[in-house]
Amino acid sequence: MHEIGVLLEVVKSVERYALENDVKKIETLVLQIGELSSMIPKYMMKLYPAAVDGTILEGSELEIEVLSANGLCTDCKKVFRVLENHGICTVCGSKNFELLSGKEFYIKEIECY
């Protein structure tokens, strides 16, 4: 389960941001995770309290937005949702595509004061 290691790195990044910007308290941390990334949101939610224990994020809320995996059909050039359509273009039925999104992992927002 590598989610804990990733969360600990996120915590370090947010703590660095807090220190540089004289932040006293983090209320909410919003992450964006691509549905094809190796991160499993339910595990991240479960591990979050342990990852933030004893840090400026302790007591904060974690929100996760899952970003769709989108592909560009290399035959008809239309964009479609890869997982939802099992890798098959919804316009022409081709299985040939270039992945445009779905592997992202971002800190989208830090609500703090």
Where do runs of H (alpha helix) occur along 21-101?
41-52
Q: Tell me which residue has tokens 């270039």.
A: 98
Beta-bridge partners for 72: 79, 98
92 annotated as belonging to a binding site for a ligand = yes
73 annotated as belonging to a binding site for a ligand = yes
112 annotated as belonging to a binding site for a ligand = no
C-alpha 78/C-alpha 97 separation (Å) is: 9
| Feature table: binding site | 2, 73, 76, 89, 92
| Feature table: binding site for Zn(2+) | 73, 76, 89, 92
| Feature table: binding site for Ni(2+) | 2
